[in-house]
Homo-oligomer: A and B are copies of this chain.
Amino acid sequence: MHPQLTTYLLVSKIICMINKKSQIIELTLKNIKDKGFLSFSYDDLAKELGVTKASIHYHFEKKGDLGIAVCNSIEEGLEKAFSEVKQASIKPLDKPLAFISNRILYINKNDMCPISALQADYNYLPASMQKKIQKLSQMEIDFLTELLFEAKKEGYLEGYHDNLEELAILLIASTKGGLQYKRILGDEFFTKLWEQFTDFLK
């Protein structure tokens, strides 16, 4: 075989592997949002991808490995949303809620926030995942807090002083709770919540 062909085959194999890996990660994320980490199975993924369980195990030997990969993917999404909103040409006061609604955009009608789903399963996840989930949970708070501080620096949020982290906590906690209730009681629940958010931020 020509050495060039060998190289080509090797490269395309690696690219395919990367694609398959990220396919699996994406699909896992979807499953987590639907049923949680403990409740989805390698067989669920295999069926949706049209392959066997063993094939998934080739890419992610243990379920925990796949869990870590998904957490990393969530982390990237979080950072991307943060930097996009930070650089957006909108009023600084609108950025905190833009960040939240950016994140919510990817949660479908009957799905959970994936971070909430991971938090729910927390007690029975491997320590490596628990650590990652801690980090993700804190990151969301920190990003939102920073956006609130930037708004404050620009002269908004006069009613608030050193308590912007507290406001971030209120916004995140009620968003997460609200998303859960929305699945059960319908969209109005979240709408009524969001209206109050816009009142806080003016």
Contact = CB atoms under 8 A, between A and B. Distances in A.
A49 interface: no
A186 to B, nearest CB: 10
B117 A184 contact: no
Contacts of A96: none
A28 interface: no
Contact of A122 (B134, B166, B183, B189): B183
Nearest to A183: B122
Interface string A140-178: 010000000000000000000000011101101111111
Given A181-B119, A181-B137, A124 B169 contact: no
Contact of A173 (B120, B134, B178): B178
Identical copies in the complex: 2
Contacts of A166: 192-193, 195-196
Size category of the binding interface on chain A: 35 or more
A196 B181 CA distance: 21
A83 interface: no
Given A169-B189, A169-B192, 17 more contacts: A36-B38, A36-B121, A38-B39, A112-B120, A116-B180, A119-B180, A119-B181, A119-B184, A123-B183, A137-B184, A138-B185, A169-B193, A172-B181, A173-B174, A173-B189, A174-B174, A177-B177
